[in-house]
Chains A and B, each alone.
Chain A
Amino acid sequence: MVFVLFKESLLFAWQSLISNKLRSFLSLLGITIGIFAIILVFTIVDGLESNIRGSIQSLGNNVVYIQKWPWSFGPDYPWWKYMNRPTPEYSELAELQKRCKSTEAIAFRLGARKTIKYRSNSIQNAVVAGISHGFYKIKNFDLSEGRYFTQAETDAGYRLVLIGASIAEGLFPNEDPLGKEIHIAGQKATVIGVIKKEGESLLGISFDYQVITPFNFARYFMDIRSENSDPTIYVKAKNNVSNAEMMDELTGVMRGIRKLKPMAEPDFALNETSLLSQGFDVLFDIIGTAGWIIGGFSILVGGFGIANIMFVSVRERTNLIGIQKSLGAKNIFILLQFLSESVLLSAIGGFFGLLLTYIITTLGQGAMGMDITLSSSNIILGFTISILIGIISGFIPAYSASQLDPVEAIRTN
């Protein structure tokens, strides 16, 4: 019975919508724009968030970075204290490996931007990283072809390199890079491997644009004491050891290596990825809230538009309502008829809003090279909002129509 009533109401609503095409189109435009605005913001925020979180995750959750500067910047950041700190050195790596018990792997890395050449092809400002052998145990990267350095090759500083996928595409467009000799800042080096394509990273930490060489080779063309090359010691905790425990041990060992007095402040920073995550949590909350406010207002305006058009509809069809009621139509039927009309109008508006969001994100995805996808949760949210707006904005006109006195309604011109 309820189903039949609902079906009939829906049919009436549909006929009413198609008999006033332009008016229906204009009134659903408000909802379309509102849903488009809010879902687009949510989709972009979700895409950026997953990209940045993925990048942070690739840095490693259980990895601690020993560096000169800390990552946490507060309002009273005492930068002058850190200015005179020494940068981490390669020699400290061996000491750490010897003394630390809670670590699974330790590696050293420094990097600089250099020009890479192969015959007439060249890439400027490519990131060249000089690493110690244990780097592969800390950073997860797969090779699409070739192999990693051996312990002897890294220790002896062989002139070998691993190149990122984009570097390989740029330097060797029609050739196999393996075994080819490239020039890094004037130094010759042989390509022994190509790193699998990772895609764009908003934090700029993708291996696609990197060239990796053994540290003892990199020292020929890099200033290993320069702060610009960002010397960093990467330390990975054992599986059963927490970051906090490992950091306690690292603090003691580093103080011992640098011969700091018991009361002296540490002259190194122990950074971990959770510091970055916390910073981005705040940023995404702000962007999400801004999108919510902007979209919320658009939706409200759309809702008022639907309510307005529903009042006009009721006014126009007052006579018809009177006839329907006098022929035995119940209040609930009149209520459902107008409510279905506003919900249908709003749902169609929501559908077009979602369709527009899908088109824009698909086009944007191609242009930006980033993964921005309209997720199922955002589709559900978009439909939910549009249906609820339809109910809220259509209920008062629908209910007032259902309460009309049939005699009075028939008399209305």
Chain B
Amino acid sequence: MKRPRIISIICILGYLSVLFTFPQVFSPPIKKLGVFMPAIYGILVSAHFIACVGIWYFKQWGVQLYLMAFFAKTLFYLLTDQIGLSLYVGSAFSVVFMFILLRHYPKMNPNL
């Protein structure tokens, strides 16, 4: 099935957000949180990216991974006390995206 245009926009925005959030993996504030924090944060950013690739190919696992990455990332921010405007804005966008993705979920390919 052909990918709807809104999904393409979500994916492009997702790729751009990865491009901007990836350098944060080795940023001084994340580094200060602990030795393994950059690795944990990096895994979450990578998961977000892989989810976007899955969604781009219109796969159900992409949406599932997107949801997991979103909750894990939010939990990471809350546990490490990284609460700020960017978290609120990012979360608001993600919630809207998740709503759209879940509406298209039944039409997506369930295979890998």
Contacts and interface: CB of A to CB of B under 8 A. Distances in A.
Given A377-B35, A392-B46, A295 B53 contact: no
A289 B28 contact: yes
Interface string A203-239: 0000000000000000000000000000000000000
A384 interface: yes
A268 interface: no
B15 to A, nearest CB: 10
Interface stretch (A17-25, A100-108, A158-166, A395-403): A395-403
B23 A388 contact: no
Interface stretch (B37-45, B74-82, B89-97, B100-108): B37-45
A403 B57 CA distance: 9
Given A285-B28, A377-B35, A296 B23 contact: yes
Interface residues of A, number: 28
Contacts of B26: 38, 42, 292, 295-296, 381, 385
A384 B18 CA distance: 16
Nearest to A380: B35
B23 A292 contact: yes
A128 to B, nearest CB: 41
Contacts of A201: none
A292 B23 CA distance: 8
A384 B25 contact: yes
B39 A292 contact: no
B49 interface: yes
A288 B28 contact: yes
Interface string B1-40: 0000000000000000011001101111001000110110
Main secondary structure of the interface of A (DSSP, over half): helix
A240 to B, nearest CB: 31
Contacts of A392: 18, 22, 46, 49
Contacts of A296: 23, 26
B36 to A, nearest CB: 7
Given A380-B39, A395-B53, A388 B28 contact: no
Interface string A271-300: 000000000000001001100110110011
Main secondary structure of the interface of B (DSSP, over half): helix
B50 interface: yes
A27 to B, nearest CB: 19
Given A331-B112, A380-B39, A399-B57, A385 B49 contact: no
A332 B38 contact: no
Max count, chain B CB within 10 A of own CB: residue among A38, A376, A388: A388
A50 B21 CA distance: 29
Contacts of A385: 25-26, 38, 42
A10 interface: no
Classify chain B's interface size.
20 to 34
A309 interface: no
A233 B25 CA distance: 46
Contacts of A391: 46, 50
B50 A395 contact: yes
Contacts of A380: 35-36, 38-39
B14 to A, nearest CB: 12
Interface in A382-413: 384-385, 388, 391-392, 395-396, 399, 402-403
Contacts of B57: 399, 403
A332 B61 CA distance: 13
Nearest to A331: B112
Contacts of A396: 53
A332 B36 contact: no
Contacts of B18: 392
A394 to B, nearest CB: 11
B10 to A, nearest CB: 16
A331 B53 CA distance: 15
Nearest to B19: A300
B103 to A, nearest CB: 24
Max count, chain A CB within 10 A of own CB: residue among B22, B26, B42: B26
B53 A399 contact: yes
B22 A381 contact: no
Nearest to B32: A288
23 contacts: A285-B28, A292-B26, A293-B23, A296-B23, A300-B19, A300-B23, A377-B35, A380-B36, A380-B38, A380-B39, A381-B39, A384-B25, A385-B42, A388-B42, A388-B43, A391-B46, A391-B50, A392-B18, A392-B22, A395-B49, A395-B53, A399-B57, A402-B112
Which are the 5 A-B pairs with shortest beta-carbon distances? A296-B23, A288-B28, A384-B39, A388-B42, A377-B35
Interface of B: 18-19, 22-23, 25-28, 31, 35-36, 38-39, 42-43, 45-46, 49-50, 53, 57, 112
Given A384-B38, A392-B46, 5 more contacts: A300-B23, A392-B18, A392-B22, A396-B53, A402-B112
